[in-house]
């Protein structure tokens, strides 16, 4: 056994009343591998179970759409918007849990970054908005995004109702936790972003107003699922269609955002960053993890260039984060925790052969079986 990381990566830790067997979490990754109506299938099932067998303490789903209106972002994206979806997720959740891993569903409303929707031909945003980059071709998009229409007050209530109903489906499917996707330029992050949200009502203007929907949604979902269900939120500065964006107020904005979230009933904050170990707001500033930890007081999941276990362990040892989420390395090494624990080498990440939108199962025989069944 590799004892170098005892006290860091392989100590137990808890979020709320849930005990995690180590600090490794699989980060959300868009897979576009479900059925056209969003129902997860056998390929999706085997994909998620593989990470649990590989020793991860928790597995987060890909961004999963919560309603049958405007939330879907990609064709063949997984949904949790119907009873059928929930019934299909339930055996996946059970098999992940059977390997000692928690399973957390990430609920995502794409907003103006939607490029494929089974239910609607239009998209919505806090204000009329067109993402600055073209659609992602590898995920089935082509050309420029359309201009999203502005959400009305009634539309906002529909958005909240969709998240709440989806959260109830998460309970029925047996998930251990829910993560609200407030990062990467999707709808909740669009409300937070001053360059997208031009509203003049109580949901726009000041940073406190732009946080309002996130806070209201946290309260509504918590009321719906109770205290036993883990509830978290993912936050980032960067967007899927604007990778250089930073909060204009830097650390001051971070203080307001994380302090506000710290007063809510979320159980954890999950950060998305290019590099979790570098200053988040300019030279000489705190990392995003440091700021989130300092101002929120919540358990922190760091994500961003943490494939090296030495680096990941140091982030935890320094008290900047409680958990590390990995994505691309998890595709290359679905058994990362087991390999690190046994001091086995990690395979290099090969974007050409691994970074593809279909759910990827590393085991050759499993992958061959799933490919034949496509």
Domain harbouring 336, CATH code = 3.20.20.70
Query: Is residue 65 scored above 90 in pLDDT?
Result: yes
Q: Is residue 130 part of a domain?
A: yes
Q: Is residue 90 part of a domain?
A: yes
Q: Which tops the pLDDT comparison, 5 or 30?
A: 30
Q: How confident is the model at residue 365 (pLDDT cuts 50, 70, 90)?
A: very low
Report phi then psi at 142, rounded to 5.
-155, 135
SS3 of 181-247:
EEEECCHHHHHHCCCCCCCCCCCCCCHHHHCHHHHHHHHHHHHHHCCCCEEEEEEEEEECCECCCCC
Q: Of the ranges 62-71, 323-332, 352-361, which one carries the lowest mean pLDDT score?
A: 352-361
Q: What does the alpha-carbon distance between residue 256 and residue 249 come to, in Å, rounded to a whole number? A: 10
Q: Is residue 373 part of a domain?
A: no
Dump pLDDT digits (tens) for 273-291: 999 999 999 999 999 999 9
Nearest to 243 by CA among 131, 354, 320, 321: 131
Beta strands 323-326 and 300-303, pairing class: parallel
Query: Is residue 358 scored above 70 in pLDDT?
Result: no
Give the count of alpha carbons within 13 A of 302, CB side only. 33
Q: What pTM does this model have? A: 0.94
pLDDT computed for residue 278 by the predictor: 96
Q: Is residue 170 part of a domain?
A: yes
Dump pLDDT digits (tens) for 293-335: 999 999 999 999 999 999 999 999 999 999 999 998 999 999 9
pLDDT computed for residue 366 by the predictor: 43
Q: Is residue 374 part of a domain?
A: no
Query: Is residue 2 scored above 60 in pLDDT?
Result: yes
Q: What does the alpha-carbon distance between residue 144 and residue 227 come to, in Å, rounded to a whole number? A: 42
Helix, strand and coil in the chain, % to nearest 5? 35, 15, 50
Q: Is residue 285 part of a domain?
A: yes
Q: Which domain range does residue 213 map to?
A: 13-365
Q: Is residue 5 part of a domain?
A: no
Is residue 65 among the annotated active site residues?
Answer: no
Average pLDDT over residues 231-260: 96
In order of 6, 314, 361, the CA distances from 1 in angstroms are 10, 19, 26
pLDDT computed for residue 348 by the predictor: 86
Dump pLDDT digits (tens) for 182-233: 999 999 999 999 999 999 999 999 999 999 999 999 999 999 999 999 999 9
Measured torsion, CA atoms of residues 254, 177, 103, 271, in degrees rounded to the nearest 10: 0
Domain count, the chain: 1
Average pLDDT over residues 154-171: 98
Find the catalytic residue in 186, 203, 295, 360.
186
């Amino acid at each position: 056994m590799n004892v170098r990381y005892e006290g860091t990566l392989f100590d137990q830790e808890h979020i709320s009343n849930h005990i995690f067997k180590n600090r490794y979490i699989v980060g959300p990754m868009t897979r576009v591998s479900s059925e056209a109506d969003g129902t997860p299938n056998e390929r999706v099932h085997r994909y998620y179970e593989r990470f649990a067998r590989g020793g991860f303490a928790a597995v987060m789903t890909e961004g999963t759409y919560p309603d049958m209106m405007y939330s879907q972002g990609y064709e063949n994206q997984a949904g949790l918007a119907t009873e059928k979806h929930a019934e299909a997720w339930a055996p996946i959740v059970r098999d992940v849990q059977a390997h000692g891993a928690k399973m957390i569903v990430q609920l995502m409303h794409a907003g103006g970054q939607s490029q494929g929707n089974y239910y609607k031909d239009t998209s919505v945003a806090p204000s009329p908005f067109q993402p600055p980059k073209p659609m992602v071709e590898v995920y089935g998009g082509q050309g420029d995004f359309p201009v999203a229409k502005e959400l009305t007050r009634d539309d906002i209530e529909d958005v909240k109702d969709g998240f709440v109903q989806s959260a109830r489906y998460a309970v029925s499917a047996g998930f251990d936790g829910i993560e609200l996707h407030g990062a990467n330029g999707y709808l909740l992050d669009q409300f937070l972003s001053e360059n997208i949200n031009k509203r003049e009502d109580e949901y726009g203007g000041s940073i406190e107003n732009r946080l309002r929907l996130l806070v209201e949604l946290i309260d509504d979902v918590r009321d719906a699922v109770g205290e036993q269900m883990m509830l978290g939120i993912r936050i980032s500065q960067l967007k899927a269609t604007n990778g250089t964006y930073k909060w204009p107020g830097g650390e001051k904005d971070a203080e307001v955002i994380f302090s506000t979230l710290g007063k809510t009933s979320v159980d954890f904050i999950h950060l998305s960053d290019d590099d979790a170990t570098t200053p988040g707001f300019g030279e000489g500033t705190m990392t995003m993890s440091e700021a989130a930890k300092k101002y929120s007081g919540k358990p922190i999941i760091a994500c961003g260039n943490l494939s090296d276990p030495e680096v990941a362990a140091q982030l935890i040892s320094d008290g900047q984060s409680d958990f590390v989420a990995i994505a691309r390395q998890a595709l290359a090494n679905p058994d990362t925790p087991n390999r690190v624990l046994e001091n086995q080498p990690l395979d290099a990440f090969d974007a050409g052969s691994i970074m593809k939108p279909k759910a990827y199962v590393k085991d050759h025989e499993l992958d061959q079986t799933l490919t034949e069944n496509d």
